Amino acid sequence: MSTQLVLSTVGCLLAAATLLAEDAPYAECRYMRAAGQVQITVGFMDRTADLDSRTAALERNGIIVLETSTPRTFTHTDRVGGHDLVTTISLQPPVGHGEGGAASFADIRVLLDGTALVDAPLSRGWGGIDRIVINPARRL
Protein backbone atom coordinates (compact mmCIF):
# COMPACT_ATOMS: atom_id res chain seq x y z
CA MET A 1 0.00 0.00 0.00
CA SER A 2 1.41 3.40 -0.92
CA THR A 3 2.23 6.02 1.71
CA GLN A 4 -0.22 8.45 0.09
CA LEU A 5 -3.09 5.93 0.33
CA VAL A 6 -2.28 5.19 3.98
CA LEU A 7 -2.25 8.90 4.86
CA SER A 8 -5.50 9.42 2.97
CA THR A 9 -7.14 6.53 4.84
CA VAL A 10 -5.93 7.82 8.21
CA GLY A 11 -7.19 11.32 7.37
CA CYS A 12 -10.64 9.96 6.48
CA LEU A 13 -10.82 7.97 9.71
CA LEU A 14 -9.86 11.00 11.77
CA ALA A 15 -12.42 13.18 10.01
CA ALA A 16 -15.13 10.59 10.64
CA ALA A 17 -14.44 10.38 14.37
CA THR A 18 -16.72 12.37 16.65
CA LEU A 19 -14.73 14.87 18.62
CA LEU A 20 -16.31 16.30 21.76
CA ALA A 21 -15.32 19.52 23.47
CA GLU A 22 -13.78 19.42 26.93
CA ASP A 23 -16.87 21.14 28.30
CA ALA A 24 -20.57 20.50 27.86
CA PRO A 25 -23.27 23.18 27.53
CA TYR A 26 -26.15 23.00 30.01
CA ALA A 27 -29.26 24.89 31.11
CA GLU A 28 -30.52 24.99 34.69
CA CYS A 29 -34.12 25.72 35.72
CA ARG A 30 -34.27 26.83 39.34
CA TYR A 31 -37.01 28.23 41.56
CA MET A 32 -35.57 30.88 43.86
CA ARG A 33 -38.19 30.91 46.62
CA ALA A 34 -36.67 33.90 48.49
CA ALA A 35 -36.85 36.05 45.35
CA GLY A 36 -40.16 34.64 44.09
CA GLN A 37 -38.54 33.98 40.73
CA VAL A 38 -37.65 31.14 38.43
CA GLN A 39 -34.28 31.52 36.75
CA ILE A 40 -33.10 29.64 33.69
CA THR A 41 -29.36 29.99 33.20
CA VAL A 42 -27.07 28.60 30.53
CA GLY A 43 -23.43 27.71 31.06
CA PHE A 44 -20.74 25.09 30.59
CA MET A 45 -19.59 22.24 32.84
CA ASP A 46 -16.61 19.91 32.66
CA ARG A 47 -17.19 16.92 30.41
CA THR A 48 -16.37 14.06 32.74
CA ALA A 49 -16.17 10.41 31.70
CA ASP A 50 -19.38 9.66 33.63
CA LEU A 51 -21.45 12.55 32.22
CA ASP A 52 -23.73 10.30 30.16
CA SER A 53 -24.56 8.16 33.20
CA ARG A 54 -25.31 11.29 35.29
CA THR A 55 -27.71 13.02 32.88
CA ALA A 56 -30.89 11.50 34.37
CA ALA A 57 -29.88 12.64 37.89
CA LEU A 58 -28.99 16.09 36.57
CA GLU A 59 -32.37 16.41 34.84
CA ARG A 60 -34.21 15.46 38.04
CA ASN A 61 -32.47 18.48 39.57
CA GLY A 62 -33.48 20.82 36.73
CA ILE A 63 -30.20 20.65 34.79
CA ILE A 64 -30.20 19.57 31.15
CA VAL A 65 -27.13 18.99 29.00
CA LEU A 66 -27.78 20.89 25.75
CA GLU A 67 -26.45 18.17 23.45
CA THR A 68 -28.26 15.37 21.69
CA SER A 69 -27.86 12.92 18.84
CA THR A 70 -31.63 12.49 18.44
CA PRO A 71 -34.45 15.03 18.87
CA ARG A 72 -35.70 15.16 22.46
CA THR A 73 -37.62 17.35 24.88
CA PHE A 74 -37.06 18.24 28.55
CA THR A 75 -39.91 19.63 30.67
CA HIS A 76 -39.57 21.19 34.12
CA THR A 77 -42.61 22.26 36.17
CA ASP A 78 -42.70 24.68 39.10
CA ARG A 79 -45.56 25.89 41.30
CA VAL A 80 -44.78 29.47 42.29
CA GLY A 81 -47.16 31.48 44.48
CA GLY A 82 -50.31 29.90 43.08
CA HIS A 83 -49.02 29.95 39.49
CA ASP A 84 -48.04 27.00 37.31
CA LEU A 85 -44.81 27.52 35.39
CA VAL A 86 -43.87 24.95 32.74
CA THR A 87 -40.48 25.21 31.03
CA THR A 88 -39.90 23.07 27.94
CA ILE A 89 -36.52 22.83 26.23
CA SER A 90 -36.48 21.08 22.84
CA LEU A 91 -33.17 19.77 21.52
CA GLN A 92 -32.25 19.02 17.91
CA PRO A 93 -29.05 17.22 16.88
CA PRO A 94 -26.26 19.09 15.07
CA VAL A 95 -26.73 19.61 11.35
CA GLY A 96 -23.18 20.46 10.36
CA HIS A 97 -19.60 20.53 11.51
CA GLY A 98 -17.02 23.06 12.58
CA GLU A 99 -17.59 26.23 14.61
CA GLY A 100 -21.27 26.29 15.55
CA GLY A 101 -22.35 23.60 13.08
CA ALA A 102 -21.43 20.72 15.38
CA ALA A 103 -23.60 22.02 18.22
CA SER A 104 -27.12 20.90 19.04
CA PHE A 105 -29.88 23.50 18.73
CA ALA A 106 -32.06 24.21 21.78
CA ASP A 107 -35.39 26.06 21.84
CA ILE A 108 -37.21 27.17 24.99
CA ARG A 109 -40.87 27.68 25.71
CA VAL A 110 -42.10 28.88 29.11
CA LEU A 111 -45.81 28.78 29.96
CA LEU A 112 -47.25 30.69 32.92
CA ASP A 113 -50.71 29.37 33.78
CA GLY A 114 -50.97 28.03 30.22
CA THR A 115 -49.97 31.28 28.49
CA ALA A 116 -46.62 31.55 26.69
CA LEU A 117 -44.21 34.04 28.25
CA VAL A 118 -41.13 32.85 26.33
CA ASP A 119 -40.95 31.07 22.99
CA ALA A 120 -37.48 31.51 21.51
CA PRO A 121 -34.19 29.90 20.48
CA LEU A 122 -32.19 29.18 23.64
CA SER A 123 -28.91 28.00 22.17
CA ARG A 124 -27.44 27.89 18.70
CA GLY A 125 -23.87 27.15 17.66
CA TRP A 126 -23.26 30.87 17.12
CA GLY A 127 -24.80 32.09 20.38
CA GLY A 128 -27.85 32.09 22.57
CA ILE A 129 -29.52 33.33 25.73
CA ASP A 130 -27.50 33.42 28.96
CA ARG A 131 -30.30 33.89 31.48
CA ILE A 132 -34.07 34.18 31.71
CA VAL A 133 -35.65 35.44 34.92
CA ILE A 134 -39.40 35.01 35.44
CA ASN A 135 -41.44 36.68 38.16
CA PRO A 136 -44.83 34.89 38.06
CA ALA A 137 -46.51 37.33 40.47
CA ARG A 138 -45.83 40.21 38.05
CA ARG A 139 -46.25 38.05 34.90
CA LEU A 140 -42.79 39.11 33.64
**What's residue 103's pLDDT?**
83
Which residues face 121 on adjacent strands?
107
pLDDT, tens digit, 9 for 90 and up, residues 92-113 = 998 876 665 678 999 999 999 9
Closest alpha carbon to 108 in 89, 91, 94, 125: 89
pLDDT tens digits along 6-57: 444 444 434 444 455 688 999 999 999 999 999 999 999 999 999 999 999 9
Greater confidence, 4 or 138? Answer: 138
Q: pLDDT tens digits for 52-74? A: 999 999 999 999 999 999 999 99
Return d(Cα 88, Cα 61) in angstroms, integer.
Answer: 15
